């Protein structure tokens, strides 16, 4: 199949049904007031109708998970880990089915779709290990014969809200860790990617049955944002972990804060690379191209800004332009394709609008920006990734446009580069290409990048699951995935234990 011959909508629907069947998902097609269309950005056409969830079904999911929680909380953590081990096996067995669904619903190319499923498998491995290592600390007590320690306990029901662009990995980062921590989970995915969610949820249900875990510890709700309100507002959901836009964060964070609930927020990114004069330009060109044009610019970690030393800017832009011109754009099921479609017309309109604003601000579109394949797919939005040279970091650059636009700015001094880098509202991912150790160290120091992720000589996207994932400022401050991010899914208790025969009070207080 060539990148220009698109898979037909009928084939996509058949392939989606087959993958769902293989994963054990049944009874998902339906009509009624909450039904909506599953769609593929490959043709931009509807596949079939999916029965959605109503607000009362969301409430029921919260009640079910709440009722299942005590038994799960009381299950030893390594036994909880056995469920995740089984889930990881099922994900491995169905890797291809799940990747097919990711390609059908998001338009990701094969290796990126498989990579997303691999992230799920990896987090399962990590979570199984974690299940034997959920640890607290003992601390020095000021009182003789006293022990001071910290213990960590499951929280309850965790609401997991995920975005279309990574339809399964962020759910798995949250869910594998939350389940090992003894929590129950209600998942609300983007309605744009409900099929991937149905398949993942069916596999988790099977793992739950195989492991003999309580059936109600996980529920999937395919509800609209409005119908999902109880997940945000219910005091029965002590933690909401949400991935999505800054707008989503602004909408839900104050509501959850108003009931003193907790959040883990992973919102927008406006990720940049600084390219220093000493950079290995071959490596930089490859790293930048994957981060900026890969996934059609639809990762929260996508590189959106390039801050290049003025002496090498022309050469780097020329190299990138050459690579950009040869990128295969088209059907993500084609083996040659590197850039699949945007998710929908709205994403294309946002890209056009951003390019127009950039040009109005004095920008020059060096390459890309045009629509492709409109003749083969009237409703599919394939675009050429764009590079735009800008005279200054204007307002349009300071906003996240979820499309493949790379804005190029130049700098003269390293201080200027860092200042430009940090002068945006978002703080997710960042990178520097340099072979100068002083610059690399400064970039990763407290006086360097202000982001949650700061890389050296690799791009901004494609993080491994072993590290904590998330960012600062309007990115929301949450951390998911590896390191000690598990602590966010548990509550901490401080215990003071007196094993002496006296009752000394702290701070030397005398009371009678």
Q: Is 332 in the site for ligand UN1 (CB under 6 A)?
A: no
Rounded Cα–Cα distance for residues 384 and 366 (Å): 12
Q: Is 166 in the site for ligand UN1 (CB under 6 A)?
A: yes
Q: Is residue 356 flagged as an active site residue?
A: no
Which of 266, 384, 400, 439 is labelled catalytic?
266
State which residue, 119 or 450, has the beta carbon closest to ligand UN1.
119
Residue count (the chain): 512
| CA angle, residues 198, 202, 238, in degrees to nearest 5 | 80
3-state helix vs strand vs coil in the chain, percent to 5: 40, 20, 40
Q: Is 242 in the site for ligand UN1 (CB under 6 A)?
A: no
Q: Which of 385, 462, 476, 488 binds ligand UN1 (CB under 6 A)?
A: 462
State which residue, 57 or 461, has the beta carbon closest to ligand UN1.
461
Rounded Cα–Cα distance for residues 292 and 296 (Å): 8
Q: Is 368 in the site for ligand UN1 (CB under 6 A)?
A: no
Q: Which of 80, 108, 188, 299 binds ligand UN1 (CB under 6 A)?
A: 299
Nearest to 103 by CA among 200, 196, 4: 196
Q: Is 300 in the site for ligand UN1 (CB under 6 A)?
A: yes
Q: Is 165 in the site for ligand UN1 (CB under 6 A)?
A: yes
Least distance to ligand UN1, CB of residue 460, Å: 8
Quick count: other Cβ atoms within 10 Å of Cβ 487? 15
Q: Tell me the DSSP string of 235-251.
A: TT--EEEEES-HHHHHH
Q: Is 268 in the site for ligand UN1 (CB under 6 A)?
A: no
Piece of 164-172, 402-410, 419-427, 433-441 that binds ligand UN1 (CB under 6 A): 164-172
Binding to ligand UN1 (CB under 6 A) within 103-122 occurs at 119
Piece of 178-186, 255-263, 278-286, 461-469 that binds ligand UN1 (CB under 6 A): 461-469
Rounded Cα–Cα distance for residues 428 and 480 (Å): 12
Q: Is 176 in the site for ligand UN1 (CB under 6 A)?
A: no
| CA angle, residues 341, 345, 349, in degrees to nearest 5 | 105
Q: Is 173 in the site for ligand UN1 (CB under 6 A)?
A: no
- Number of residues lying near ligand UN1 (CB under 6 A): 11
Q: Do the Cβ atoms of 184 and 157 come closer than 8 Å?
A: yes
| CA angle, residues 33, 36, 223, in degrees to nearest 5 | 75
Rounded Cα–Cα distance for residues 126 and 128 (Å): 5
Least distance to ligand UN1, CB of residue 16, Å: 22
Least distance to ligand UN1, CB of residue 155, Å: 23
Q: Is 454 in the site for ligand UN1 (CB under 6 A)?
A: no
Binding to ligand UN1 (CB under 6 A) within 33-92 occurs at none
Q: Tell me the DSSP string of 406-432.
A: EEEEEESSHHHHHHHHH-SSEESEEEE
Active site residues: 266
Point out which residues bind ligand UN1 (CB under 6 A). 119, 165-166, 170, 243, 299-301, 461-463
């Amino acid at each position: 199949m060539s990148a220009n011959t698109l898979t037909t909508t009928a084939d996509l629907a058949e392939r989606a049904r087959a993958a769902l069947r293989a994963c054990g998902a049944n009874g998902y097609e339906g009509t009624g007031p909450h039904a909506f269309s599953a769609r593929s950005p490959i043709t931009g056409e509807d596949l079939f109708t999916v029965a959605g969830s109503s607000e009362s079904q969301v409430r029921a999911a919260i009640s079910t998970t709440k009722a299942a929680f005590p038994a799960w909380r009381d299950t030893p953590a390594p036994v909880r880990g056995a469920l995740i081990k089984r889930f990881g096996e099922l994900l491995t067995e169905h890797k291809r089915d799940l990747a097919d669904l990711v390609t059908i619903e998001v338009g990701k190319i094969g290796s990126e779709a498989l990579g997303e499923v691999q992230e799920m498998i990896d987090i399962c491995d990590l979570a199984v290990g974690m299940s034997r290592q959920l640890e607290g600390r003992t601390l020095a007590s000021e009182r003789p014969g006293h022990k001071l320690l910290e213990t960590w306990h499951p929280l309850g029901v965790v609401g997991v809200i995920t975005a279309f662009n990574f339809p399964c990995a962020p759910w798995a980062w949250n869910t594998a860790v939350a389940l090992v921590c003894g929590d129950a989970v209600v998942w609300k995915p983007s309605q744009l990617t409900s099929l991937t969610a149905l398949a993942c949820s069916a596999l988790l249900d099977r793992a739950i049955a195989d492991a003999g875990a309580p059936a109600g510890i996980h529920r999937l709700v395919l509800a609209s944002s409005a119908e999902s309100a109880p997940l945000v507002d219910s005091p029965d959901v002590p933690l909401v972990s949400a991935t999505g836009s800054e707008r989503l964060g602004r909408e839900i964070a104050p509501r959850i804060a108003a009931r003193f609930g907790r959040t883990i927020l992973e919102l927008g990114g406006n990720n940049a690379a600084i390219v220093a004069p000493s950079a290995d330009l071959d490596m930089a060109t490859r790293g930048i191209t994957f981060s900026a044009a890969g996934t059609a610019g639809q990762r929260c970690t996508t590189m959106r800004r390039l801050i290049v030393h003025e002496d090498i800017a022309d050469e780097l832009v020329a190299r990138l332009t050459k690579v950009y011109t040869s990128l295969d754009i088209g059907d993500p099921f084609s083996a040659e394709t590197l850039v699949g479609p945007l998710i929908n017309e709205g994403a294309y309109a946002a890209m056009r609008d951003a390019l127009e604003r950039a040009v109005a601000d004095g920008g020059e579109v060096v390459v890309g920006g045009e629509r492709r394949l409109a003749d083969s797919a009237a409703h599919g939005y394939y675009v050429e990734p764009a590079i735009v040279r800008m005279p200054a970091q204007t307002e349009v650059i300071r906003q996240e446009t979820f499309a493949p636009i790379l804005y190029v700015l130049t700098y003269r001094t390293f201080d200027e580069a860092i200042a430009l880098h940090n002068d945006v509202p978002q703080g997710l991912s960042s990178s520097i290409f340099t072979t100068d150790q002083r610059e690399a160290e400064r970039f990763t120091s407290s006086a360097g990048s202000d982001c949650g992720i700061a890389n050296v000589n690799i791009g901004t996207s494609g993080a491994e699951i072993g590290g904590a994932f998330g960012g600062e400022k309007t990115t929301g401050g949450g951390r998911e995935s590896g390191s000690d991010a598990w602590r966010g899914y548990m509550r901490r208790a401080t215990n003071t234990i007196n094993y002496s025969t006296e009752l000394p009070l702290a701070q030397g207080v005398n009371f009678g």
